[in-house]
Amino acid sequence: MQTDIAYRLILASASPARRALLTGAGIDAEVIVSGVDESVVDQEDAYTTSLALARMKARTVAASLPADPAALVLGCDSVLAFEDEVFGKPANAEEAVKRWMAMRGRSGVLHTGHHLTGLVSGLQAEAVGTTVVHFADVSDAEIEAYVASGEPLQVAGAFTLDGRGGAFVDRIEGDPGNVIGLSLPLLRNLLGEMGVPITALWRN
Active-site position among 28, 68, 77, 84? 77
Q: Of 168, 166, 187, 188, which Cα lies nearest the Cα of 176?
A: 166
Assign 193 a pLDDT band (cuts: 50, 70, 90): very high
**In percent, how much of the chain has pLDDT > 90?**
84
pLDDT value at position 1?
46
Per mean pLDDT, which range of 1-10, 21-30, 88-97, 170-179 is the poorest? 1-10
Residue 170, phi then psi, degrees to nearest 5: -65, -45
pLDDT value at position 35?
82
Cβ burial of 94 (10 Å; 0-12, 13-18, 19+) is exposed
pLDDT value at position 141?
98
The SS3 call for residue 169 is: strand
Strands 8-11 and 71-82: parallel
Q: Does 34 have pLDDT greater than 90?
A: no
pLDDT in tens, 159-189: 999 999 999 999 999 999 999 999 999 999 9
CA distances from 122 to 33, 112, 175, 191 (A): 20, 23, 29, 13
Residue 184 CB neighbours (<10 A): 17
Q: Does 140 have pLDDT greater than 70?
A: yes
pLDDT value at position 4?
64
Does 29 or 121 have the greater pLDDT score?
29
Is 77 considered catalytic here? yes
Q: What is the DSSP letter of 202?
A: B
Q: What is the DSSP letter of 40?
A: G
Over the chain, what is the mean pLDDT? 93
Task: Evaluate whether 100 touches 147 at the Cβ level (below 8 Å).
Answer: yes
